[in-house]
Amino acid sequence: MTDVSEQVDPPSVGLITAPPEPYTTRRPEKGRYDRSIVEGPLRSAVWKIAWPTMLTNIIGGLQGIVDHVLVGHLVGYRGNAGIGVAWQIFIVVIVFITSLFTGMSVLVARFAGAREEDKVNRTVYQAFLTAVGISLLIMAPLGYFLSPTLLDLVNAAPEVKAEALPFLRIMFLFSSGMLIFFMLSGALRSAGDARTPMSLGIAMTVLNLVLNVILIRGLGPVPAFGTAGSAMGTVIATGIVAVYSVWKLWSGGWVVSFPRGQGWGPDWTIIRSLFRFGLPTGIQGIAMNIGGVFMLAFIGSLAQSAPAQAAFAICYSQLFSLITWTAIGLMGAAATVAGQNLGAGRPDRADAAVHVAARFGFTGAAFIGLFFLFLPRQLLAIFGMHEPAVVEIGVQLLRVLSVSGLFIAVALTYTGGLQGTGDTKSPLYISIVSQIIVPLGICFVIQQTSKLDPIDIWIAILVGHTARCALSVFRFRQGKWRGIAVDI
């Protein structure tokens, strides 16, 4: 394998400024931001940001699990496959848009660490303005008309496509609420407030769950919408939370807010900085998810494509999310703590924070992996997965994922450390190698030389996660992120 770590130069992004003065020279008053992130016990600082995000992600993941349970029992495994395929496609697009929020988070964390409140608020508003414009003017119309083609691209079986198409179109048309929630959550966490996004996320999840129970199965005069009902509940819940969030940003009261007295039009200096930091992350996300889409195409080429797609939708998209969403919470914590400490002139503390987050991630993945390893059939039964072909493939996949989760959890925390300090290019190259070249190359070679079986695809995923972990750790330990400085 080519070692991309040796090929990536330190990112020349943002406007280079002089290194921040040591924290000891700054004014001593408390100010608006939580200074425990750059002072005091490091484990507590990481955990303070991580646990609310982890809890929010787990609860959100459980809501998705409930959706699959309802659809699995009412529609059948074809409905599960339809939701899984549609989400895999939708995530490719949504990740690119939310890459702007990574650029925003880099700037917000650095400015919060330096106590530059005005720059924090200006950055948040411009990220909001840019994301909403892209989602309404580009994402919604193109997504609606291209949905059938995208489903054909992943070789969705006709019965799966029938369930996935309305779901996908609804999500594309009404995605603005979800984007606003992601933007706000990233801004608040980067500024040191992880509890407000947790409260909003829990409220949104509960509302989503109630709406989905009604819309999927029907209630009274409300008809049963089946798979489409899951998408309807999601966009309504996220839309309600988004309206409330915009009002709070306007009226103030949170650690971030919309600036006053500076005009409401776009500030192209800030927007360019958002793209400089965020675009590599967006391309990285697209690379990873395009890899997932092509992996679905390999799954769709199997002799038992529909059972394999259903197993993949449940095991990888839902159950494995208990590991990935937890690790993503730690990734966000690593990014926030590392970024704020770098902004406060404490790079050694930033370095140590990422190692602490990685240990948390490994422990959590090991705990969840035990259930995958020893109770796979029981987990699949929760989703109404009783067909022998689906169960056999699902058990096989869960046992591989019990090991794979260890590597991806550690990889994500080091990715957060790189991105939070401003090195968003290295994770891009690492993802291209580990999420596209390695796993898809393995599947292609096996398909061309012999018969491709489900276990071959699952092992390819494991190898890719292992490669991503090794490259991410190596790149972070090189320490070139210490010299990145930003300003607007």
Tens of pLDDT along 273-307? 888 888 898 888 777 777 777 888 898 888 878 88
Residue 45 CA: distances (Å) to CA of 123, 333, 335, 339: 24, 9, 12, 13
**Banded model confidence at residue 31, pLDDT cuts 50, 70, 90:** low
- All residues at 6 or more sequence positions from 338 whose CB lies less than 8 Å from its CB, including other chains: 109, 350, 351, 353, 354, 416, 417, 420, 421
Angle at alpha carbon of residue 163, lines to 383 and 64, rounded to 5°: 40
Contact 383, 69 (CB under 8 A): yes
Lowest mean pLDDT among 22-31, 173-182, 468-477: 22-31
Which helix (H) or strand (E) segment holds residue 62: the answer is helix 42-74
Residue 10 has pLDDT above 50, yes or no: no
Average pLDDT over residues 34-53: 88
The encoded tokens of residue 439 equal: 């796993």
How confident is the model at residue 69, as a pLDDT?
Answer: 73
Q: Give the residue carrying structure tokens 């129970």.
A: 213
Q: Which residue has the higher pLDDT, 383 or 77?
A: 383
Residue 17 has pLDDT above 60, yes or no: no
Nearest to 188 by CA among 176, 201, 204: 201
Strand partners, 222: 219
Tens of pLDDT along 437-488? 999 999 999 999 999 999 999 999 999 999 999 999 999 999 999 988 777 7
Percent of the chain past pLDDT 70, that is, above it, reads 91
Whole-model pTM? 0.77
CA distance linking residue 320 with residue 394, whole number of Å: 12
Percent of the chain past pLDDT 90, that is, above it, reads 42
- All residues at 6 or more sequence positions from 378 whose CB lies less than 8 Å from its CB, including other chains: none
Q: Which residue has the higher pLDDT, 407 or 219?
A: 407
Contact 197, 187 (CB under 8 A): no
Q: Which range scores top for mean pLDDT: 92-101, 148-157, 190-199? A: 190-199
For the chain, state the CA radius of gyration. Answer: 22
Angle at alpha carbon of residue 209, lines to 69 and 318, rounded to 5°: 45
Average pLDDT over residues 337-349: 92
How confident is the model at residue 461, as a pLDDT?
Answer: 94
How confident is the model at residue 295, as a pLDDT?
Answer: 86
